[in-house]
Amino acid sequence: MNKSLIFIIFCNFSILVAQKENIEPAFDFLAQYSNCRDLAISKNQDEVYFTLQSSNEEVSRILYTKKVKNKWTKPQLAIFSSNHRDIEPFLSHDDLRLYFASNRPLSDTVTKSKDYDIWYVERKTITENWSKPINLGMPINTDKDEFYPSVALNGNIYYTSENENSFGKDDIFVSHWKNDKYTKPENLGTAINSNGYEFNAFIAPDESFLMFTAYNRKDGLGSGDLYISYKSKDGNWEIAKNLGNQINSTAMDYCPFYDTNTGILYFTSRRNLVTNKPFKTTDEFEKEINQYKNGFSRIYKTNLKL
């Protein structure tokens, strides 16, 4: 096998392998959309929630689809979708709670958008409708922006924020679930964060690893890159490693979601393979500029051994 097709990271006695030629569109039903990002997949692989945005991202909604008789239904607006910007869904591991970020106001009587908070909806069974959205509240939500919730099996929540405990720009924080409440959020430290931008963190269910995006680092490929950090035996995060050019591109790569049931990494990318060349027909030209990897925000998947 051509060694250039394989990227291997030895970290914490774990092996990460990805083949670039196996990076492909995440789902067929997403191909119709030119600007979508971040997704959540149910434990039984029969529900998908994702964010769909306008070209300038001023309009943003969460949509969902269900698998019925082995076919995905037409995506629909989530029942909790608002007239504000709703993004970044994350399903709890029992699929009975869905977290998301939104700049919606705290009261239904207010129309003006606010800063981003983390919200959730819940249901008693997977066949019931979602509840009215509930603001996660303090100490997680503040008068600053909070983004991209990701929750471990033990209830600990990881998210992005820029606040007085950030090293510079956006950083990744954790709030531990103890005695039926969240503790004061903690910055994950310099193994993860820097004085630049770190965001979109996905935590493994058992907290054994963390994937996230860092922007414009010295070891990056030109924009936002995906990184991984493993938790050592003493409970500390190891220095994050770039996932390399077998996954990352020179464009923005972000919003990781790793399905531990299938070993598939889903992520969003603005990668662009459109080339300027002689075109014999209009159809040929349209096919080139409308291909999936054309610089728009798209969701991809790849098999990834961790």
pLDDT digits (tens, 9 = 90+) for 256-276: 999 999 999 999 999 999 999
- CA 139 vs. chain centroid, Å, equals 22
Does residue 3 sit within a domain?
no
Given this model, what pLDDT does residue 32 score? Answer: 92
Q: Could you tell me how many residues make up the chain?
A: 306
Kindly report the CATH number assigned to the domain that includes residue 273.
2.120.10.30
Q: How confident is the model at residue 7 (pLDDT cuts 50, 70, 90)?
A: very low
Sheet of strand 209-215: strand arrangement: 198-203, 209-215, 224-230, 241-242
Rounded to the nearest integer, the mean pLDDT of the chain is 92
Mean pLDDT over residues 179-195, rounded? 96
Query: Does the structure show a pLDDT above 80 at 5?
Result: no
pLDDT digits (tens, 9 = 90+) for 104-150: 999 888 889 999 999 999 999 999 999 999 999 999 999 999 999 99
Q: How confident is the model at residue 182 (pLDDT cuts 50, 70, 90)?
A: very high
Distance from C-alpha of 2 to C-alpha of 82, rounded to nearest angstrom: 49
Q: Which residues, 6 or more positions from 280, have their beta carbon under 8 angstroms from its beta carbon?
A: none
Contact 227, 211 (CB under 8 A): yes
What are the structure tokens assigned to 56, written together?
A: 């300038």
Single pTM value for the model: 0.91
Does residue 87 sit within a domain?
yes
Distance from C-alpha of 199 to C-alpha of 190, rounded to nearest angstrom: 14
More confident residue, 241 or 20: 241
Does residue 17 sit within a domain?
no
Given this model, what pLDDT does residue 1 score? Answer: 43
Q: How confident is the model at residue 213 (pLDDT cuts 50, 70, 90)?
A: very high
Determine the straight-line distance between the first and last CA of the chain, rounded to whole angstroms: 20
Does residue 75 sit within a domain?
yes
Query: Does the structure show a pLDDT above 70 at 289?
Result: yes
Q: Which residues, 6 or more positions from 73, have their beta carbon under 8 angstroms from its beta carbon?
A: 65, 66, 67
Does residue 125 sit within a domain?
yes
Does residue 264 sit within a domain?
yes
Q: How confident is the model at residue 164 (pLDDT cuts 50, 70, 90)?
A: confident
Does residue 239 sit within a domain?
yes
Mean pLDDT over residues 32-52, rounded? 95
Contact 244, 221 (CB under 8 A): no
Own/partner long-range contacts of 96-102 (Cβ < 8 Å, ≥24 apart): 96/122, 96/123, 96/124, 96/125, 96/126, 97/121, 97/122, 97/123, 98/40, 98/49, 98/122, 98/130, 99/136, 99/149, 99/151, 99/157, 100/62, 100/149, 101/146, 101/147, 101/148, 101/149, 102/133
Distance from C-alpha of 117 to C-alpha of 253, rounded to nearest angstrom: 23
Count Cα neighbours of 9 within 13 Å in the Cβ-side half-sphere: 21
Count of domains observed in the chain: 1
Distance from C-alpha of 103 to C-alpha of 112, rounded to nearest angstrom: 9
Q: Show the domain range for 128.
A: 25-303
